[in-house]
Structure 1
């Protein structure tokens, strides 16, 4: 596929991930009497990836996440020259999704982004469970590492063909079940950037962690899987 088609697919897929995942948290998680809760939000994030892997994976590889792109470059699955364009359109897709979500959320009387938020990530006083910087850093590095191991394994040439979206989507669901209380779950710098730009303040001040930790975890996974997956 041409680069323009691959980048368009990455924009659409990242938009879907952020709109579906963050949208479930903002619009549905706490809805009186019908709220889906944090388990429902975790499932929503997993479903966004699962559906778009099957829909767009054959076009762009279905990264939808700068950390995934970094891990795949380190793992030898993506040419380094494509990394920056992929990251740019992923971030733009996330910003567009957060913008649409904000417009929808403000249609409800009483919505205040300073109070209700936009599913931004955070630590310390901005962690849903009050977890500190150390806990947030470890959580994001370890879970992104695990996520990339699943992605690299599920898409390996020796893995069963045509099923990669299922373990990848389930892995992202599991990741959210573990870490929503800690950081509201990032493992995706684009997903963190979109909402943070609208929330502002400390959401932007803490954004560095949700770039540094996922990228570090993904790069480590790329290195480790290069060794694990190398044929003797």
Structure 2
């Protein structure tokens, strides 16, 4: 009897200890833990995060200088149809920058890619905020350098290579709502073709980094080609695909670049939200 009672008491004691351990050590709110992880406030104190953000700043500034000067050179080359050359230039430059920066910071260089990466949980909200801030500062630095060294005649002729819809007259430009639809469609095209593949870990590993960069750069070049050929409107510079690029040029050149500037922000944001809604319903394999 004594041994039996002792065993019962021991079992009751062990159960009570396990219960207490579960209550004291277990997560009180799993959703709250996930929310904190998605914010990632600890990354503000991580040197690696700041190094990656600095890489985004330098890469974005370099991209603005290279891409803008190359596009203006194509437009000023007096070729019979420079619209066919510009997508090729975009493809080459995008591929080179992507293959160098993806291993360093993810190779975003645009708030569009950072925003969709945050929605998909690839980066935390804190890192996304730092990236977007770095991209905007990098764009401002890049266009400041361009404004200092570029011929003033070229600046006025091509609006510093910024994102332009054109004048207020409908005869000389595309309508803002049409530009919004085109910005949304072309950004969604890039996300659907490039990001779908880039965020697929298995396929990315099988294809390798060069092929991933080729697909993303090809999607960007295709979007630029579609936007500048399908409209045929004077004063329309094609899709931006990068709100930071549009912001940097507008700050220094102003004027017509502020006309419909909101299009180059709202369009990509809507495209990211639409793509995210679609991507969660895509098959895993």
TM-score normalised by length of structure 1: 0.87
Partner of 1:15: 61
* Residue 78 of structure 1: how far off its partner (Å): 1.6
SS in 1 for 2:162: coil
C-alpha separation between the residues in 2 aligned to 1:65 and 1:223? 20
1:161 aligns with 2:208: yes
SS in 1 for 2:241: coil
C-alpha separation between the residues in 1 aligned to 2:226 and 2:182? 9
1:87 aligns with 2:132: yes
Q: Per residue, is there more helix in 1 or in 2?
A: 2
Q: Residue 122 of structure 1: which of 155, 164, 172 is its match? A: 164
Asked if 2 retains the 8 angstrom alpha-carbon contact of 1:94 and 1:193, the reply is yes
Cα separation, partners in 2 of 1:138 and 1:180, compared to 1, 3 Å: same
* Residue 193 of structure 1: how far off its partner (Å): 0.9
Cα separation, partners in 2 of 1:201 and 1:226, compared to 1, 3 Å: same
Per-residue CA shift, 1:104-127, capped at 9, x if unaligned?
Answer: 222xxx616334421222325379
Cα separation, partners in 2 of 1:130 and 1:80, compared to 1, 3 Å: same
Partner of 1:170: 218
* Residue 43 of structure 1: how far off its partner (Å): 2.1
Per-residue CA shift, 1:116-145, capped at 9, x if unaligned?
Answer: 421222325379973211210111011111
Q: Residue 86 of structure 2: which of 10, 31, 41 is its match? A: 41
Per-residue CA shift, 1:156-205, capped at 9, x if unaligned?
Answer: 11212322110001111111111135542201101111111121123124
Bigger drift between 52-61 and 35-44 goes to: 35-44
Higher relative contact order (CA 8 A, sep 6+): 1
Asked if 2 retains the 8 angstrom alpha-carbon contact of 1:148 and 1:222, the reply is no
C-alpha separation between the residues in 1 aligned to 2:279 and 2:122? 11
1:60 aligns with 2:73: no
Cα separation, partners in 2 of 1:134 and 1:205, compared to 1, 3 Å: closer
Bigger drift between 162-171 and 17-26 goes to: 17-26
TM-score normalised by length of structure 2: 0.72
* Residue 77 of structure 1: how far off its partner (Å): 1.6
Structure 2 unmatched ranges of 5 or more: 1-46
Cα separation, partners in 2 of 1:53 and 1:76, compared to 1, 3 Å: same
SS in 2 for 1:125: coil
Give matches, 1:75-224, under 5 Å. 75-106=120-151, 111=153, 113-123=155-165, 125=167, 130-155=173-198, 156-159=200-203, 160-162=207-209, 163-180=211-228, 182=231, 183-184=236-237, 185-224=239-278
Asked if 2 retains the 8 angstrom alpha-carbon contact of 1:20 and 1:44, the reply is no
Cα separation, partners in 2 of 1:53 and 1:171, compared to 1, 3 Å: same
SS in 1 for 2:53: helix
RMSD: 2.4
Q: Runs (4+) of structure 1 moved beyond 4 Å?
A: 126-129
